[in-house]
Amino acid sequence: MNSLSFANGDQFPIIGLGTWKSKPGEVYQAVLWALKSGYRHIDCAAIYNNEVEVGKALSHAFAEGIVARKDLFITSKLWNDSHRIEDVKVGIQKSLKELQLDYLDLYLVHWPVSFKKGVGFAENREQYYTYEDVPLAQTWQGMQQVQQEGMTRHIGVSNFNIAKLKELFAVGGQGPELNQVEMHPYLKQEKLVKFCKEKGMLMTAYSPLGSGDRSSSSKKSDEPKLFEDHLVSSLADKYKVSPAQILIAFSVHRNIAVIPKSVNEERIKQNLEAGAIKFEVEDFKALNAITTQYRFIDGTFFTGSKSPYKLADLWEEF
């Protein structure tokens, strides 16, 4: 499998298994199928509420000799209720315990949004902290500390725009090494990608297939469907692959890691096989030239009258 390289030479498999929305009772088997298919990169997060089951699958895989720990790349993420410096270590320790691991390969600040301790999803203003209450710099210092203590080999962020990234680099010391954001042909994030590359940061694309299985309450009735895009469909026919594989290959061709989620054995295999697709130059240019712009995960669940945060705290403009 193709890999990207961190500054210290550590390899980051370019296709990983996403576990967001994978239900307990499904994710255990999905992880085992993925590892047996050749995946060596599993993307997790505390808020997915399935790390215990992922940990059981990893432990089983190690015990059965399916894969060695040293050959795996495991990511997890710090939830919004653990942004105070004293809570960062507690957050990663909980994930390590649930995943049954001694260390993570990558630990990310999940969102640039802070909740009070113990809040799963803030429902009113009183459950949020502001940037004045808990500056991002404080959270980042906590991330640096857990890296220095060997709990994670690399540290980074998710859903951070350029302005917020600059705040973290201004802290000094180890800066963020990776930014995980929504990316696909309808949201290429070119300005953000350029900034991250200039800073030596890697990137991971989440929701590369449009996150069609997310809850209906977070969807808009008129949102576009990536699978039904005419160019994506025609390229799938041309290369004799699925539209999903075309979308995954799009990120691979941009040297951006990608973490499609599936709990279906055959699709898990197909998603990994997408890394072998070699686009003709003109086909990749055409994908890159799609003018439709759409953000499926729009962040409005963290903004509005109940919150001190604005969408400008999350995203670059299109």
Per-residue pLDDT reduced to its tens digit, 172-182: 999 999 999 99
Enter the pTM of the model: 0.96
Residue 21 amino acid letter: K
Q: E strands within the chain?
A: 3-5, 11-13, 17-18, 41-43, 73-78, 104-109, 114-115, 128-129, 152-158, 178-182, 202-206, 257-258
| Sequence ranges of the domains in the chain | 9-214+221-313
3-class SS of residue 106: strand
State pLDDT tens for residues 10-27: 999 999 999 998 888 899
Distance spanning both ends of the chain, measured CA to CA: 32
Q: What pLDDT score was predicted for residue 25?
A: 86
- Which CATH number fits the domain 9-214+221-313, given the four candidates 3.40.50.1000, 3.20.20.100, 1.20.1050.10, 3.40.50.720? 3.20.20.100
- Is 48 annotated in the active site? yes
Tally of helices (H runs) and strands (E runs) in the chain: 10, 12
- The answer to whether residue 212 scores a pLDDT higher than 70 is no
Tally of CB atoms within 10 A around 177: 23
Q: What pLDDT score was predicted for residue 24?
A: 80
CA distance 253 to 250: 5
Torsion-angle region of residue 40: left (phi > 0), alpha (psi -120 to 50) or beta? alpha
Write down the mean pLDDT value for the chain: 95
Q: pLDDT over 90 for what percent of the chain?
A: 93
What dihedral do alpha carbons 190, 196, 197, 199 form, nearest 10°? 150
- The answer to whether residue 217 scores a pLDDT higher than 90 is no
Q: What pLDDT score was predicted for residue 231?
A: 98
Q: Given the residues 48, 128, 131, 186, select the one marked as catalytic.
A: 48
- The answer to whether residue 90 scores a pLDDT higher than 90 is yes
Q: What pLDDT score was predicted for residue 211?
A: 75
- The answer to whether residue 220 scores a pLDDT higher than 80 is no
The predicted model gives 64-76 an average pLDDT of 98
